Amino acid sequence: MAVFDTPITTDDRNLSKVLGQNLPIVVYLYDSRQGSNKPLEDALKDIASKHVGELLVTRVDVASSPDTHRQYGNLRTPALVTLEIPDHKVKSKAEAISSADLQAHVDYLLGKGPKPAEKPRAATSGTLHVTDATFQKEVMESKVPVFVDFWAPWCAPCHSVAPLIDQLAGEYAGRVKIVKLNTDENPATMQRFQVMALPTFMTFRDGNPVSRRSGASPQFIRELIREVQA
């Protein structure tokens, strides 16, 4: 069994390898589009070093690993999930965490503290990550208008407007469904709609395309959403 005294960064493809370790696991979910959270990152390093051999600390960037984010409930980042042995079932989870939350959940995972109280879930909804497999159901069959953000992890302009898109997802919750599609991982949908530049934004109503624009302009992102809203 490998021993790690520092957090391990993993992703959708490699998380199963991490889960193969016979140790309790702390999964830290963060969003690189929101910038670095130094206090939490420092706390993670400290916990990994302090509890080496007792648990495994992992980091997952939800911007490039939407499947893992969805698997654990699309928690508001920064978030954490603790997994107990032997089968790595979820023992606790929390969203919008602080360093104190992190320590409380680690203590609970290791049997050194009580179960932390759950925080109330935010009333607003965030963006939904879709794939080639879910695009038909989530977009084409949606009962409310949909705004689709075609993006890729390497696309700097995509990251620059991501916080605005997340904000608008909350503002228009219930009126417009705002979804993101990683074109690197879902080329079929990208080809289907002949997306040639990133970011590209499309709106749909009743399964039909309504509008389309390319380029990271906050102004026309707002315009597209405002125009298609129910």
Residues catalogued as catalytic: 155, 158
Q: CA–CA separation, 82 vs 90, rounded Å?
A: 6
148 forms beta bridges with 179, 202
User: Is 43 within 8 Å of 51 (Cβ atoms)?
Assistant: no
- CA dist 194 and 68 (Å) reads 28
DSSP letter at 168? H
Q: What is the C-alpha to C-alpha distance for residues 222 and 229, in angstroms, rounded to an integer? A: 11
Task: Provide the 10 A C-beta neighbour count for residue 120.
Answer: 5
Contact 165/200 with Cβ under 8 angstroms? no
| Tokens found for residue 206 | 């009743």
